[in-house]
Structure 1
Amino acid sequence: MSLERLHQSATPSTPAVDFDPASGVLSLTGESYPENAFDYFRPLLTWVARFVDEGNTPIVAEIALSYLNTSSIKSVMDLLDLLESAHRRGRQATVRWSYADDNERALEMIEEFKEEVTLPFFIVPVSG
């Protein structure tokens, strides 16, 4: 596979992104409320789509996003759709979404994401 590791550092309004094509682990951590989420997530979605098309390495999305604005929610759903598509084609794809166990709003949002996909999706409470 010719893809290089994808890494973006977190900013106050964007999450840290780390995707290692060798391990298949995609990490998204922090908060996401950029001025233009579609522009922010476009490179990640393009990279993931290419990774899904070119390889067969299992994919594990390790997500710890505590807050997303509306356009970020749409972009994360686009990401989950890519993973769901890979899963339906037989690719091993898993989501593990961590959240502070005292953040009910985050849990509700994560549960809504989980309802939209059939791939293995684990909600992981973390002591706050």
Structure 2
Amino acid sequence: MENFVIEATKHTPLVSGNCGTGEILISGRSIPENATSFYRPFLVWIDEYKHNPSPKTQLTFYLDYLNSISQKVVYDIIESLYDVTNKNELIVFWKYDEDDEEILDEGKVFQSRFDLDFRLIPVTA
């Protein structure tokens, strides 16, 4: 299995997955014209990754903005990776700029929906 990378643009985040280390990162602004189409290759990669996951998967979000469609996709990503917690460890890191209440609140919503190690991490500018 290959590692996965989509480089960030003005409207889309960096999306990367390392199958060897289990480190997955989504960072930047998520307002693609078609979020479903943008994230589809990554969701396919996650489905492949789940067949042979790393013993420890670290899913890190560091988003400065996400639209409502991207919120749904973020939920789908977490839900899909939640399956690996049956046999492996999954930790979600939700990073946010310490003065960004909206992104913090989004993280709290996701945190409340999943019974897993979900850490809200303020980042000082």
TM-score range, shorter chain: over 0.9
* Residue 91 of structure 1 pairs with residue 88 of structure 2: yes
Normalized against structure 1, the TM-score is what? 0.93
Q: Which residue of 2 aligns with 1:38?
A: 36
Q: Which residue of 1 aligns with 2:70?
A: 72
Q: 2:98 aligns with which of 72, 96, 101?
A: 101
| Partner AA of 1:28 in structure 2 | I
1:56 Cα deviation after fit: 4.4
Q: Is the 8 A contact 2:20 2:54 kept in 1?
A: no
Output the CA distance in 2 between the equivalents of 1:81 and 1:55.
15
Q: Which residue of 2 aligns with 1:121?
A: 118
Q: Is the 8 A contact 2:22 2:53 kept in 1?
A: no
1:50 Cα deviation after fit: 1.1
Q: 2:55 aligns with which of 54, 57, 62?
A: 57
Q: Deviations over 1:29-69 (max 9, x none)?
A: 00101010000111111101210123343210111012110
Q: Which runs of 5+ in 2 are unaligned?
A: none
Q: 2:16 aligns with which of 15, 18, 21?
A: 18
| Partner AA of 2:89 in structure 1 | Q
Output the CA distance in 2 between the equivalents of 1:93 and 1:47.
17
Number of residue-to-residue matches in the alignment: 125
Identical residues among aligned pairs (%): 30
Q: Which runs of 5+ in 1 are unaligned?
A: none
